[in-house]
Structure 1
Amino acid sequence: MTPFARVFARHNQMADIARDDEPPRRLRLHRRFRDLACGDRVELDTTGEQVDHLLERDNVLVRRDGFGRRKVIAANIDCVWIVIAPEPAPSRNLIDRFLVAVLNLPARPRLLINKQDTGPAAPPEWLNAYRQLDLEPLYVSAKTGYGLDDLAAAAAGQTNILVGQSGVGKSSLVAALLDQYGLTDATAPATGELAASGEGRHTTVTAQWFPLANGGAWIDSPGVRDFTPEIPSLDTLERGFPDIAECADHCRFRDCRHQREPGCAVLAAIDSGELPAARLQAWHDLAAEIPAQTRARG
């Protein structure tokens, strides 16, 4: 059986692809592979110069762009690390949107708090909402190395992708892991400083694969200021909000939209403090986007 090759990065009509421990080579792609993405497994032709076949994916992380078009970020992911930091200020809305995408892959979401240079700072109270989703955060510092041992141990043997805002230090974390733990031959990602506005510069322009010596990998992804998950149905949305879905099972009406309906268990949970109101607001915001996404697919 011909061994498969791995897509390390996608660059428009080109892709960096490698077999086994060979260094990646940049190959031109046929137009039928327009959705080829970082992490994909492919078979090359006999010359080794062209992609012949895309192997079946375990999953694929996608987003919708400003025109409603489907954009593939990466494929065959085991764990998605949502990275936040004290600066730029964390966006709860962005976390909620990433969770919808991740919990529909399926893959495991993890919450990673970077720039903890002297150890964990007091966590913001709003993080408690995510602890209820088994998202106990891991605290790290790419600058000092704090927590990197725990991060490397948690990531061992699986394909991990870092996602989040520009400037939270995703590329710096990958570079620190490459330096400290002897990952297989790869070029460390470029890193950038925060712009004067406090927003990160987009130093990573495409998702890139960095293999681990133990068989797993890190994928560094471009920073974002917004993220629109693919939501073809209300069922998809509910999988991304298991805390709301669990409460909704006790609503008086099966088609309850958790607005003003009598007997709404979700609203009751918010009134009692069991659920944060921000989670329901994120649910409503994303539910409102479903019709537009449906039109775009049509």
Structure 2
Amino acid sequence: MNMHTGGNENRNIQPGHEWLNRFGWNARAESSFAEQSREGMFPARITADHGQKFKIVSERGEGWAELSGRQKYELEERSAFPAVGDWVLLRYLTETAPDGMIHGLLPRSSRISRRSAGTVPVEQLIAVNVDLLLLVAALNHDFNLRRLERYLVMAWNSGANPVILLSKADLAEDPETITAAVEAIAPGVPVIAVSAKENQGREQLEALLKPGLTIAMTGSSGAGKSTILNWLCGEELQATTEVREDDSRGRHTTTHRELFPLPQGAVMIDTPGMRELQLWEDEDGGWAEAFADIEKLAADCRFKDCRHEQEAGCAVLAAIRNGELERKRLDNYRRTERELKYQHAKENQRKRSQHRTGGKKELRRDKGAQRRHYELEPMD
């Protein structure tokens, strides 16, 4: 896997940038800012999104910011609004205060997103400019390999490098067997079993938290993401609650996405848990990457248009018969393929409709409603 190197060589520490360095400032951000900065603009990072207002950090420390009127007018797609992890161009409101107005976004190196709830396909950003995405799955009664496959589709499509964290390893009777099953559906992806309660797996996890890197965690409600954050930081940054004993499902304790600096040097974005992950995929091929083993087998099928159902010479079905491939994995492969094809068809239909009804003018008329919906919509 092509892991980002991180490290001190990327930090580019300069006088006045101490606050930025604590929140992931690196050579990539420095270069982007140098190319796009304008007179009177300063770099800042979005650390939390509260609707119309954004919590930010800049060389003056922590503050608050809003989008400029021009930005509100020009940003047409919901996914173009600032998100947690974004680097922005900021103009301070006064000579000394850290608060400001956002006049632009720097290019994103990655974008983690899903399809928003509702009948109209809309992309909902979870976090951006993430180097490592930790997919957290608890080793309790709620553990589900098929769900983890969906998270891998999202991860591979984001541009971030996935790492699977099997949390609450102290609850599993046979964690080695589960780890082996996870490794089978995620070849090349690091899989780490951790337990904050038993202090298990900390050394492996901390080896990834290099200075200058941005890490994000995502997973189901009750998977233990906030517990992991508190464990790594050595303090209670996020509230936690116990999961229900009957089904191991958790309640939301994290209510919004927020970025935290870690003592190890990296920064971590904690996100609310998801009860359901509706996939959103653009042209980056996350689905094919997540099911690369099936795609490789399919290349050996006798017919190029093989549907892997009952065709003669199907290499995929042969792999199921000889135990090389699990039937449930093939079923999930088909299910997610149908889901993404349906999403693409709906998105294309929406774009055609916008083109017929006035293109950008139509988008701008709808933008206010989009933004209000964006502010109110929870992760799940």
For residues 147 and 22 of structure 1, the distance between their equivalents in structure 2, rounded to whole angstroms, comes to: 33
Q: Secondary structure at the match of 2:233?
A: helix
- Is the 1:119–1:139 contact (alpha carbons within 8 Å) kept by the matching residues of 2? no
Residue 29 of structure 1 corresponds to which residue in structure 2? 67
Instruction: Name the count of aligned residue pairs.
Output: 291
Q: TM-score under structure 2 normalisation?
A: 0.70
Percentage identity across aligned positions? 32
Residue 183 of structure 1 corresponds to which residue in structure 2? none
Gaps of 5+ in 2: 1-33, 35-40, 94-98, 351-380
TM-superposed CA distance for 1:3, in Å, is: 4.6
Report the structure number with the largest CA radius of gyration.
2
Q: Please list, as runs of the form range in 1=range in 2, the aligned pairs for 1:52-201 lying within 5 A after superposition.
A: 52-67=103-118, 68-117=121-170, 121-125=174-178, 127-128=180-181, 130-131=183-184, 133-157=187-211, 158-179=213-234, 188-195=237-244, 197=246, 198-201=248-251
Q: Secondary structure at the match of 1:74?
A: strand
Residue 302 of structure 2 corresponds to which residue in structure 1? 252
Q: Of Structure 1 and Structure 2, which has the larger fraction of its residues in helix?
A: 2
For residues 294 and 145 of structure 2, the distance between their equivalents in structure 1, rounded to whole angstroms, comes to: 16
* Aligned CA-pair RMSD: 2.6
Q: Which amino acid aligns with 1:18?
A: V
Q: Which amino acid aligns with 2:45?
A: R
For residues 171 and 147 of structure 2, the distance between their equivalents in structure 1, rounded to whole angstroms, comes to: 26
Gaps of 5+ in 1: 181-186
Paired residue for 1:265, among 299, 305, 315? 315
Q: Deviations over 1:231-280 (max 9, x none)?
A: 35795521221111111211222222322222221121122111222221
Residue 220 of structure 1 corresponds to which residue in structure 2? 270
Q: Deviations over 1:113-164 (max 9, x none)?
A: 1123499943345843534612352121122322222211122232111111
TM-superposed CA distance for 1:61, in Å, is: 0.5
Indicate how the Cα distance of structure 1 residues 167 and 279 shifts in structure 2: closer, same or farther if over 3 A, else same. same
- Is the 1:5–1:42 contact (alpha carbons within 8 Å) kept by the matching residues of 2? yes
| Shift >6 Å, 4+ stretches | none
For residues 87 and 155 of structure 1, the distance between their equivalents in structure 2, rounded to whole angstroms, comes to: 26
For residues 101 and 284 of structure 1, the distance between their equivalents in structure 2, rounded to whole angstroms, comes to: 16
Q: TM-score under structure 1 normalisation?
A: 0.87
For residues 118 and 93 of structure 1, the distance between their equivalents in structure 2, rounded to whole angstroms, comes to: 20
Paired residue for 1:208, among 244, 258, 261? 258
For residues 261 and 21 of structure 1, the distance between their equivalents in structure 2, rounded to whole angstroms, comes to: 65
For residues 60 and 261 of structure 2, the distance between their equivalents in structure 1, rounded to whole angstroms, comes to: 9
Q: Which amino acid aligns with 1:179?
A: G
- Is the 2:196–2:231 contact (alpha carbons within 8 Å) kept by the matching residues of 1? yes
Q: Deviations over 1:198-251 (max 9, x none)?
A: 311111122211123554211111111221221357955212211111112112
